[in-house]
Amino acid sequence: MAKPATWTDLHEAARKALLNRAYEEAEGLLLQCCQEAEADGGTDHKEIAQILEQLAEAQWYQSKLRESEQTCERLLETAKAMRDPVVRVVCLSNLAIVNHTLNNWKEAEEFYLETLKEIRILLGPDHSYVTKYRSFYAEMLNQQNRQEEAKALGVQPREVTEFDWQTSKVVSMIQERLGNPGLSATALSSLVAVEMTREEYEMVYRSNSLRAKQAVSEGDLLLSEKLWAFNLKLIEKFKEPDEKLITALDNIAGMQYQQGRLKQSLVTFEKALTLKKKCLGKEDIAVARAMHFLAGVYYELNDTEKSISHLRASIKIYEKVLGKDHATVASALHNLGTIHHVIHQYEHAEKAYKKALDIKMRSLGPDNEETVRLTKSYAELLAKTGRAEEAKRLNPALSGYITGSWKEGDGPQ
């Protein structure tokens, strides 16, 4: 007889489902996981909080906004019990976004103000995430015809998109700001610079690479970053080819990005991009993918001008290398339309959406997840610009928020 799944097994299965964007499956597993974890007297608040955070995320991506709101409220109670300021500020920001999307203006405003107060303390007044939530708040004020108050915030109003549900990244970023735990003595022993032969270098490089991969699977992103940073020093010391340097830079940037250190990640990714252009040529597909990914990072940092510039450059390469009707071209156009949409450049957004939808309909079909997400965005745009009948014909069930198509496969890992 098979051994019944424990809550830890269920949680691991749910985590994998989230990574694969199987949100309905993840939700079912996480609901079961909550029941099992609560029945298990040994489960601590931190583990419960992680489960609830992921459950709220799975519900958000399925447009189950009421359920997501209720889960966030449960998470907020858990944060209070933990007395954890990091989890608390993440809850508040998520509740602000959910209530904003549901047009619960009073509740959304309370949560935005509380989020801004606490996130300034944790991250500092000039951090990009402070600017981001001020932009969302300004957009909400504009929706209520409170333009003067919105203008006084001194930021460009920005609509909430699917990309803006990134709780784990916010958590890790704040924890980084508050101080990460140091590496273990075992890990540090491998990072001591010593004289070595090329054979020894190759052995250490391979060992560090394998340990870095294992560290990622265990959730220790900081250790993985440190191991790749040491590999980078070895590569430079032994004057290895640029291709190997690119691999190290991509891995370091990826770890920085996943820990929420977006500005550091951006600098490292840009170094890797410069090398890719030099080694592979400016029109190589790897260059296009890197620019596509960087566009997403610039978007998260509220630099929409550079995001648009990188996306347009990547689209040109995709069209030349893959053909104008390729699904990857459509994904990049979808993202381009999303950025124009959230900064209210509706004419440019519609042009990108139309082109992307035409390609996705032909290459993926009308029922594909990417096509459905794009249709929702386009319908939302039509409704926003006073063409409700067109929107209804295109998609009778609007999602209430804008989607995009950035995913892990689009950039360096």
260 has pLDDT over 70: yes
Average pLDDT over residues 3-9: 66
Determine the residue type at 334.
Answer: H
Q: Supply the pLDDT for residue 166.
A: 61
Tell me if domain 7-178 and domain 282-413 are identical in fold.
Answer: yes
Average pLDDT over residues 319-344: 93
**Residue positions counted in the chain:** 413
CB 402 within 8 A of CB 342: yes
Q: What is the DSSP string of 55-84?
A: HHHHHHHTT-HHHHHHHHHHHHHHHHHHT-
Spatial neighbors of 408 by CB under 8 A, at least 6 apart, are: 19
Going by the DSSP 8-state scheme, the letter that residue 409 receives in this structure is: G
Q: For domain 182-260, say whether CATH 1.10.3470 is its number.
A: no
Instruction: Assign 413 a pLDDT band (cuts: 50, 70, 90).
Output: very low
Instruction: Assign 272 a pLDDT band (cuts: 50, 70, 90).
Output: very high
pLDDT in tens, 338-371: 999 999 999 999 999 999 999 999 988 888 888 8
Going by the DSSP 8-state scheme, the letter that residue 2 receives in this structure is: P
Q: Supply the pLDDT for residue 161.
A: 78
Rounded Cα–Cα distance for residues 280 and 224 (Å): 27
CB 369 within 8 A of CB 21: yes
Cα 57 to the center of its chain, rounded Å: 12
Q: Supply the pLDDT for residue 302.
A: 84
Rounded Cα–Cα distance for residues 236 and 197 (Å): 14
CA distances to 11, 12, 13, 28, 39 from 2, in Å: 18, 18, 17, 20, 21
Phi, psi (degrees; rounded to nearest 5) at 54: -70, -35
275 has pLDDT over 90: yes
41 has pLDDT over 70: no
Q: Which fold has domain 282-413?
A: 1.25.40
Cα 65 to the center of its chain, rounded Å: 19
Return mean pLDDT, the chain: 84
Average pLDDT over residues 202-220: 83
Please enumerate, as own/partner, the contacts of 345-348 that have beta carbons within 8 Å and a separation of 24 or more: 346/381, 346/384, 346/385
Taking the chain, what is the end-to-end CA distance rounded to the nearest angstrom? 40
Average pLDDT over residues 111-122: 88
Which residues on adjacent β-strands are paired with residue 79? none
Q: Where are the domains of the chain?
A: 7-178, 182-260, 282-413
Rounded Cα–Cα distance for residues 299 and 321 (Å): 25
Cα 220 to the center of its chain, rounded Å: 18
Instruction: Assign 239 a pLDDT band (cuts: 50, 70, 90).
Output: confident
Predicted TM-score of the model (pTM):
0.73
Q: Supply the pLDDT for residue 396.
A: 59
Selection from 128, 135, 215 nearest residue 174 by Cα? 128
CB 226 within 8 A of CB 251: no
287 has pLDDT over 80: yes
Classify burial at 299, counting beta carbons within 10 Å of its beta carbon; exposed 0-12, middle 13-18, buried 19 or more. buried
pLDDT in tens, 162-205: 667 666 666 666 666 665 444 443 444 444 445 677 787 888 88
Q: Which fold has domain 7-178?
A: 1.25.40
Cα atoms in the 13 Å half-sphere on the side-chain side of 140: 26
